[in-house]
Amino acid sequence: MPPIFALVDCNNFYVSCERVFQPLLCGQPVVVLSNNDGCIIARSEEAKTLGIPMGLPFFQMREQFPNLSIQVYSSNYALYGDMSARVMSILKQFSPQVEVYSIDEAFLDISGCAGGDLKAYGHRIRHTVKQWTGIPVSIGIGATKTLAKLANRLAKRADAAQGVFDLTGSKPQDDVLQSTPVKDIWGIGRSYSRLLQANGIATALALRDADDRWIRKHMGVVGIRIVWELRGISCLPLERHAPPKKSLMVSRSFGRSITSLDDMREAVATYASRAAEKLRRHRLAAGILSVFLMTNRFKSDEPQYSNDIKITLPVASSDTAELIAYALAGIEHLYEAGYRYKKAGVLLTGLVPAHQIQMHLFDARDRERAQKLMTLVDHINTQMGSGAIQYAVAGFRPRWQMRRARMSKRYTTQWDELAVVRAV
DNA sequence: TCTGGGGTCCTAGGACCC
DNA sequence: TCTGGGGTCCTAGGACCC
């Protein structure tokens, strides 16, 4: 049986999560900010209607919309991650074939599940997710992932069929593709969009019927796959199991610029420590550690500097102390006094499963002991809350910490932040 | 004062080898 | 004047995604 893809996408996901626990926000313009309260990364429909663009820096929103009353939240990933897991577990009851594509999206293969009426099945999914979690979703159905994505866009339109759009029927496809600008196709970004339009390919229909050789030449195999998917030939299979991670990064902009090596050391030690925790959670070890730092690229009047260094470890490791040591050695090498640093980060690559680390003959480190210590630290931090135990080099209450002034409570993952309901 | 973070895949080009 | 051909591997950078 050929697959039938349903793309289930949570509407304005972060805003919807906030609304579940603060129903007063429903009907009001709401936005959620990126880390460091930097940019707007989620908007309610009301906020979109007001003309607030995606990615707008928060301080510019305050300049441009000074008189509007908009509810603003810092991003609360503890809450969003947990709500996402709830939504995904519900979707798995509607199909054994689910690919969790991002925090707020999943592809389902619903061939064989829907019993003939795809649209009705979509509505059942939508209704169940809403009832059980409070999160509204939109569902697009198509013969390929690309077409399901496209259908999802239509499902979100107010005039469409209440959140579900089925594109598998052959009839309506041409006009739908005709009315879809190339920039709205999954996989077509700014640059390809410009290229295509400059060559007279402005709609999904035109792209579907474009010349393969031209596409291959200018957009590579990625482009060919998009075109074929638009023709209904599935090139992107459902991936039920996430392929193994190839890299892992922890980086943050600083709440205020760093101008001393001591502060930079604290920040980088903190990031290395977080990265090591992530490694262990995925049962991985890293063979290569890169560190980078940079000044604020938006401040053209300030001297600019950015640099990075890549360190190959003698033996792949997930030991916090060891990764911190390499990261500090790296950052001390990169650090130049006299700049105002805005961001730094630690990137781990050369990842291998923790159980198949290649040992080194002259390795002096007592790795067994280190591993026991890490297991203990992780256990304590799981029980007592993240950060209960940490390395002193990472600093306490550091000056450079990111801003998150408008954070809601962690309603679903923290006992002392549960929602309180009062019966009057 | 103020501008996110974390990923993947693909391609071109250089280094190196026979 | 004129300077092979064909591989592999690695890396940096571009493009895209959410």
* DSSP symbols for A87-106: HHHHHTTT-S-EEEEETTEE
Span A368-394, mean pLDDT? 86
Residue A296: nearest nucleotide (C-alpha to C1'): B3
pLDDT in tens, A162-216: 899 999 986 778 999 999 999 999 999 999 999 999 999 999 999 999 999 999 9
- The pLDDT, as a whole number, for residue A233 is 96
Tens digits of residue pLDDT in A211-257: 999 999 999 999 999 999 999 999 999 999 999 999 999 999 999 99
Phi, psi of A155 (to 5 degrees): -65, -30
In the structure, what pLDDT confidence band is assigned to residue A360 with cuts at 50, 70 and 90?
A: confident
Confidence of residue A161 (pLDDT cuts 50, 70, 90): low
| C-alpha span between A21 and A417 (Å, rounded) | 11
Q: Which nucleotides of chain C are near protein (any atom < 7 Å from a CB)?
A: 14-18
Instruction: Report, in ranges, which bases of strand B sit under 7 Å from a protein C-beta.
Output: 2-11
User: What's residue A388's pLDDT?
Assistant: 83
What pLDDT, on the 0 to 100 scale, is given for residue A160?
59
pLDDT per residue as tens digits for the range A58-96: 999 999 998 889 999 999 999 999 999 999 999 999 999
Are A289 and A330 a contacting pair, CB within 8 Å? yes
Burial classification of residue A244, based on how many CB atoms lie within 10 Å of its CB (0-12 exposed, 13-18 middle, 19 or more buried): exposed
Helix (H, G, I), strand (E, B) or coil at A152: helix
For A420 and B8, how far is CA from C1' in angstroms?
Answer: 42
Please, which pLDDT band fits residue A396 given cuts at 50, 70 and 90? confident
A232: Cβ under 7 Å from strand B? Answer: no
Q: Strand A71-73's sheet: what is its strand order?
A: A40-43, A30-33, A71-73
Does the structure show a pLDDT above 80 at A340?
yes
pLDDT of residue A114: 84
| Strand B and A345 CB separated by under 7 Å | yes
- Whose tokens are 């709830």? That residue is A86
Residues A354-378: what's their mean pLDDT? 83
pTM of the complete model beyond 0.85: yes
